[in-house]
Amino acid sequence: MRRFAPAIALIAVMAFTGTAVAKDRLLHFGTGDVSIHNGTATLANDPGEYSGVYIKAKGLSSKRLKAVHISFRSSGDTAGGAPRFSIPLNTGHTESVTPYAFLDVNNCGSNLVSTDSANCKVFLNFSSESFDNWADLASTHPRWRIAKRAIPFIIADQAGTYVVSNVDLR
């Protein structure tokens, strides 16, 4: 029985690598200024700029929507749909644009943007559908998944200073 202990330990380590909680693992992109400290990102955009952060993790790839738990906390500015999660989807169809679901601060009614929140409305970039929350999206489209090898990201594409923290991807 002892000879299986290393294999079990390896499987346990591999299982935890799929879950990503930001500490200093946030990576950034965009034309605005981004500073990251202890898992908190400040995104500062002038007019016409955008910026964002993401965690390079594979744990969400091809995951069914009902099993997805994604969240972040926001402070600072809010404008339009910024800041927001942009979550790549696999709908099982070929769309003319990459399908994304969006959850943003203004449509969550609080500083918590989360797939677990009953108050976070979900919008799609490829259809006119919108949903009261993530659970509504997942139950309406039970076969949809997170896109394979795609990474959800937080973006602010309006002028302002946005602060995002407690980024959690499970």
Question: 3-class SS at 129?
Answer: coil
Q: Which long-range contacts (CB under 8 A, 24 or more apart) does 14-17 make?
A: 17/57, 17/58, 17/59
The average confidence (pLDDT) of the chain is 87
Please state, in angstroms and rounded to a whole number, the distance separating the CA atoms of residues 26 and 38.
9
Closest CA to 44 of 166, 126, 141, 156: 156
Q: Where residue 60 falls among pLDDT bands split at 50, 70, 90? A: very high
Q: Where residue 11 falls among pLDDT bands split at 50, 70, 90? A: very low
According to the model, what pLDDT value does residue 83 have?
A: 98
- In sign, the C-alpha dihedral spanning 127, 130, 131, 133 is positive
Looking at the predicted structure, is the pLDDT value of residue 20 above 60? no
Backbone φ and ψ of 98, nearest 5°:
-60, 125
Domain limits, the chain: 20-169
Please give the CATH topology (third level) of the domain spanning 20-169: Jelly Rolls (2.60.120)
Count of other CB atoms within 10 angstroms of residue 75 = 14
Q: What is the 3-state secondary structure (H, E, C) of 108-148?
A: CCCCEEECCCCCCCEEECCCCCEECCHHHHHHHCCCCEECC
Q: What is the pLDDT of residues 37-57, one digit of tens each?
A: 999 999 999 999 999 999 988
Model pTM?
0.84
Q: List the structure tokens of 29.
A: 């992109």
More confident residue, 10 or 112: 112
Count of other CB atoms within 10 angstroms of residue 148 = 12
